[in-house]
Amino acid sequence: MAILEIKRYPERILKQKTAPVGTINGATQKLIDDMVDTMHAARGVGLAANQVGIPQKLCVIDLSLRGEKAPLIVLINPIILEREGVIEAEEGCLSIPGYLTAVKRAERVFVKGLNREGKEISIEGEGLLARAIQHELDHLDGLLLIDRISPLKREFFKRRYKKQMQHSKSET
């Protein structure tokens, strides 16, 4: 059991596309356990491997913190096969602490991938689950939620974020 360091914007690894997991071995199992611990410690509902510095196509999702009755989901090499509807809702990211913004996502998704045993699984998600799946799969493609908002909002975010960084530098 280990808590890993969560990479924060603008670290480069967050912008990189991850590579598919080849063999699911002991190292993969340990990474999954550590990612679950890290996600829980940060009180997040999802975490992608590149957020902890490992550029592999693997993510974990656990909505139980939000009071949803949902099991822990481990998705290896996931792909979204179907999307339906559009819905906008507020979203945050463990790699951009303190920032919340409205993001448009598909209302329902159908995703396929492997579970931690390497067995093929498919999940039909809607609501928060659909949102979390799309958010984590974006991470695996090197995309952050700020890549899903308007260029104007993104500019505002970048300016504010830079100021915050300068501020925190002068404090330490």
Interacting residues toward Zn ion by CB under 5 A:
93
Distance CA 87, CA 66 (A): 19
- Which residue's Cβ has the minimum distance to Zn ion? 93
Closest distance to Zn ion from the beta carbon of 42 (Å): 10
Reading the block at residue 128, the tokens are 């928060």
Reply yes or no on whether 11 is catalytic. no
Q: Which is nearer to Zn ion, 16 or 25 (CB)?
A: 16
Inter-residue contact 16 to 47 (CB < 8 Å): no
Q: Rounded to the nearest whole angstrom, what is the least distance from the CB of residue 47 to Zn ion in the complex?
A: 8
Shortest distance in whole angstroms from residue 172 CB to Zn ion? 25
Dihedral-angle region of residue 127 (phi above 0 means left; psi in -120 to 50 means alpha; beta otherwise): left
Residue (93 or 103) nearer to Zn ion, CB: 93
From the candidates 11, 88, 117, 136, which is the catalytic residue?
136
- Cα pseudo-dihedral 38, 73, 63, 90, rounded to 10: 90
**Tokens read off for 139:** 């991470």
**C-alpha–C-alpha distance, residues 2 and 36, integer Å:** 9
Q: Which of residues 31 and 93 has its CB atom nearest to Zn ion in the complex?
A: 93
Catalytic residues: 136
